[in-house]
């Protein structure tokens, strides 16, 4: 009796005689997608930025890239993204990007070079819907989340006074920045800093993208846990008629922003002290990471525009912090 697992004779004969052929690799690269990504990318510069293999490079994914008017450098628009950009430049001895990939292509530069880069991504590119993310390698790609990036960067800041200032930046100043961004900064500027769409292009899809991005920003770093009612107020539709509730939340928003200004003022007083290590003091390299965290907030605030209360303070009473930030920024250009 034949086994139920045995192959019937006629079928076996057919497949024994069936011609075997090994087919070559089919290139399934999506050229349109690669082009779209390239249009959103900017490459770090310097001799250490170019690698022999794509497996040796990283891509820093951020909300948006803005050009600094004073230095010409291309900077991540968000404080955390900028902190990661500056820290990667410091760690790998890189110069900040100054040309977008589209500009390089127009000038005839090669786009196939393996080179460290920064690219604009949707928050949905991250599992946590937070940016920045760090994409390392190509063949075996490893993606670091915002939380993973911050954990590594914060570990480079010595425990003590520096971590105290880091906590102040990431709570009081961070909260003030988010409230200022969503309350005072025009929607057009928000889109320029946090999305890859033109806010003037009115459509349901664009409106949904903007609202989704605002929700993601509010959910980051525990902001919503600290300011529950205020979070809803910042992203909801604002009726033209002011109610008692909206007036209370507007007052609460102002308190959060003023607390951030007071905190920045205290930080400025500390950084003005002669005992503070200067930017060219290389005796303690770890201490410079707290400086990078600080100037990331300062430079991001300076990009918010004239409507921002934090930027207004920075341009008038916070000029030391602004000048100090540009001094340090220029060392990466």
As a whole number, the mean pLDDT across the chain is 86
The Cα–Cα gap between 229 and 252 comes to 10
Q: Where are the beta strands (DSSP E) in 187-251?
A: none
* Cβ contact 172:261 at 8 Å: no
- Maximal CA-CA distance, the chain: 96
The gap between the terminal CA atoms of the chain, to the nearest Å, is 82
Residues 6+ apart with CB under 8 A from 285: none
- Give 3-state DSSP helix, strand, coil % of the chain, rounded to 5: 55, 10, 35
Most confident of 3-12, 162-171, 187-196, 227-236: 162-171
* Cβ contact 46:22 at 8 Å: no
pLDDT for the residue 146: 96
Indicate the pTM of the whole model.
0.85
Stretch (H or E) spanning 126: none
Measure Cα distances from 282 to 48, 83, 287 in Å: 20, 19, 9
Q: What DSSP line would sit under 163-195, residue for residue?
A: HHHHHHIIIIIHHHHHHHHHHTS-HHHHHHHH-
pLDDT class of 283 with cuts at 50, 70, 90: very low
Read off the pLDDT of each residue in 257-263 and give the average, rounded to a whole number: 98
The number of beta carbons lying within 10 Å of the beta carbon of residue 165 is 21
Would you state the structure tokens that stand for residue 291, as one six-digit string? Answer: 């400086």
The Cα–Cα gap between 161 and 268 comes to 15
The number of beta carbons lying within 10 Å of the beta carbon of residue 250 is 14
**Per-residue pLDDT reduced to its tens digit, 108-158:** 454 567 899 999 999 988 999 999 999 998 778 889 999 999 999 999 998
The Cα–Cα gap between 117 and 129 comes to 21
Would you mind telling me the total number of residues written for the chain in this entry?
333
Backbone angles phi, psi at 180, to 5 degrees: -60, -45
SS3 (DSSP) at 100 = strand
Side-chain-side CA neighbours of 214 within 13 Å: the count stands at 24
The Cα–Cα gap between 225 and 190 comes to 23
**Per-residue pLDDT reduced to its tens digit, 168-206:** 999 999 999 999 999 999 989 999 999 987 655 656 678
Judge whether residue 291 has pLDDT over 80.
yes
**Per-residue pLDDT reduced to its tens digit, 296-310:** 999 999 999 999 999
Side-chain-side CA neighbours of 119 within 13 Å: the count stands at 22
The Cα–Cα gap between 171 and 149 comes to 18
pLDDT for the residue 279: 46
Measure Cα distances from 118 to 99, 125, 162, 295 in Å: 11, 14, 28, 19
The pLDDT > 90 percentage for the chain reads 61
Instruction: Describe the crossing of helices 187-194 and 204-219 by its angle, rounded to 10 degrees.
Output: 70
Side-chain-side CA neighbours of 227 within 13 Å: the count stands at 26
């Amino acid at each position: 009796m034949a086994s139920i697992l045995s192959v019937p004779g006629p079928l076996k004969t057919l497949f024994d005689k069936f011609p075997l052929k090994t087919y070559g690799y089919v290139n399934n690269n999506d050229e349109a997608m690669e082009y779209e990504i390239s249009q959103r990318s900017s490459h770090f510069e310097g001799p250490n930025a170019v690698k022999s293999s794509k497996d040796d490079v990283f891509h820093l994914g951020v909300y948006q890239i803005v050009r600094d008017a004073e230095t010409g450098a291309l900077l991540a628009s968000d404080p955390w993204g900028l902190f990661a950009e500056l820290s990667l430049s410091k760690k790998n001895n890189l110069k900040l990007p100054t040309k977008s990939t589209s500009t390089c292509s127009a000038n005839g530069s090669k786009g196939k070079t393996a080179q460290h880069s920064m690219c604009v991504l949707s928050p949905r590119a991250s599992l946590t819907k937070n940016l920045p993310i760090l994409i390392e390698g190509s063949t075996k790609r490893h993606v670091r989340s915002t939380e993973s990036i911050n954990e590594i960067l914060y570990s480079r800041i010595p425990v003590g006074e520096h971590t105290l200032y880091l906590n102040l930046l990431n709570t009081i100043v961070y909260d003030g920045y988010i409230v200022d961004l969503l309350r005072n900064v025009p929607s057009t500027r928000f889109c320029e800093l946090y999305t890859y769409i033109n806010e003037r292009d009115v459509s349901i899809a664009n409106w949904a993208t903007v609202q989704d991005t605002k929700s993601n920003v509010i959910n980051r770093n525990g902001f919503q846990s600290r300011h529950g009612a205020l979070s809803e107020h910042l992203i909801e539709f604002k009726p033209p008629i002011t109610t008692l509730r909206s007036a209370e939340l507007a007052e609460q928003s102002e308190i959060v922003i003023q607390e951030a200004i007071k905190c920045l003022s205290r930080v400025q007083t500390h950084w003005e002290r002669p005992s503070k290590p200067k930017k060219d003091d290389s005796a303690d390299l770890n201490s410079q990471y707290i400086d990078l965290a600080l100037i990331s907030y300062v430079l991001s605030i300076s990009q918010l525009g004239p409507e921002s209360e934090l930027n207004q303070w920075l341009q008038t009473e916070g000029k030391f912090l602004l000048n100090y930030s540009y001094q340090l920024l220029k060392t990466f250009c």
